[in-house]
Amino acid sequence: MSTEDQPLPPGTQTLARGLAVVRAVADGATDLRTLVERTELGRSTAHRLVQLLVREGYLRTGRDGYTLGPTLIELGFQALHGNPLPVVSRPVLEELSEQLKDTVHLAVRDGSSVLYLDKLPGSRGAEMRSRIGHRMPLTRTGVGMALLLDSPHEWESLYEAEAAVDPELARSDDVDAFTARMREYVSSQVAMDLEDNEPGIRCVAAPVRDASGALVGAISVSATRPYMPAARMRGLAQVLSRSAGRISAALGHKAL
């Protein structure tokens, strides 16, 4: 049973409703009517929760409607810097960015999604839709596939769940082809986004491990197709593996 499917602990319903309001605003609900539709709360309940969240700084209101507030920015900053992974990774990411001139990402797994912790945009003019704090499907991104290298028992279910909500995915590939790709990526310990997530954007990614050997994150380099021919992607596989290895070593991982 996933965390989302578990029943709420007793006495936490109001908290859960408040969190649902914050999540709805984060997903683009800017007015009370949309909030009510997204959260399925009563209008008066949603309004009361918004008032409290605004007072405490979790939300704010203005000309553009509801937006996330400064308290969340403060807490997010503290959470980010309380995690050693972004701190340890940053120098390596900066080095990759300077060397390659392409977009560099650091991400972790959050449920069935990729959560981006850091992003250094490339200098070749193309801007990817990823951003820090943004989530994307695991099976569609290079970092997502890298994060799944140790989880073959989940490949089919995650892929099929994504295909169910994205008809384009179902048409572009099938689950057998996806699992065959993943087996190749396990062998090389490098994953590749072959325009799976964004048309014209390709990516090479590698996993990051901690002292226990657990897969705790992934880094990637992304660029438009003209800058990512197959030969360069093969060369970048070694570059990403070395860089991910340096981050893993800083986290206490000892390669065999």
Judge whether residue 190 has pLDDT over 60.
Answer: yes
Give the distance, in angstroms, between the CA of residue 172 and the centroid of all CA atoms in the same chain: 22
**pLDDT value at residue 171:** 53
d(CA 220, CA 240): 7
Q: How confident is the model at residue 95 (pLDDT cuts 50, 70, 90)?
A: very high
CATH level 3 topology of 83-250? Beta-Lactamase (3.30.450)
**pLDDT value at residue 3:** 43
30 token code pair? 């800017």
Which range scores top for mean pLDDT: 17-26, 79-88, 180-189? 180-189
Rg, the chain, Cα only: 20
Q: How confident is the model at residue 2 (pLDDT cuts 50, 70, 90)?
A: very low
**pLDDT value at residue 109:** 94
**pLDDT value at residue 243:** 96
When pLDDT is averaged across residues 34-55 and rounded to a whole number, the result is 92
Q: Which residues contact 137 (CB under 8 A, 6 or more apart)?
A: 112, 113, 114, 144, 162, 166, 197
DSSP letters, 144-204, are HHHHTTT-GGGHHHHHHHHHHH-HHHHHH--HHHHHHHHHHHHHHT-EEEESSSSTTEEEE
Q: Where in the chain is the domain with CATH 3.30.450.40?
A: 83-250
d(CA 27, CA 34): 11
**Percentage with pLDDT > 90 across the chain:** 61
- The residue that leads in pLDDT, 192 or 4, is 192
Judge whether residue 50 has pLDDT over 80.
Answer: yes
Per DSSP, what are the bridge partners of residue 174? none
**pLDDT value at residue 148:** 97
244: number of Cβ within 10 Å: 25
- The residue that leads in pLDDT, 103 or 255, is 103
252 backbone φψ class: left, alpha, beta (φ>0; ψ -120 to 50): left
Average pLDDT of the chain? 88
- Residue pLDDT, tens place only, 102-134: 999 999 999 889 999 999 988 876 677 788 888
Q: How confident is the model at residue 83 (pLDDT cuts 50, 70, 90)?
A: low
d(CA 240, CA 256): 18
CATH for 3-75?
Answer: 1.10.10.10
**pLDDT value at residue 167:** 67
Q: Where in the chain is the domain with CATH 1.10.10.10?
A: 3-75
Judge whether residue 147 has pLDDT over 80.
Answer: yes
Judge whether residue 235 has pLDDT over 50.
Answer: yes
229 token code pair? 């021919």
Q: How confident is the model at residue 222 (pLDDT cuts 50, 70, 90)?
A: very high
Q: b vs e for 73-89, b when ≥16 Cβ sit within 10 Å of the residue's Cβ?
A: eeeeeeeeeeeebbebb
Judge whether residue 172 has pLDDT over 70.
Answer: no
d(CA 204, CA 190): 7
When pLDDT is averaged across residues 191-205 and rounded to a whole number, the result is 91
**Percentage with pLDDT > 70 across the chain:** 90
| Alpha-carbon distances of 216 from 48, 193, 240, rounded to whole Å | 39, 19, 16
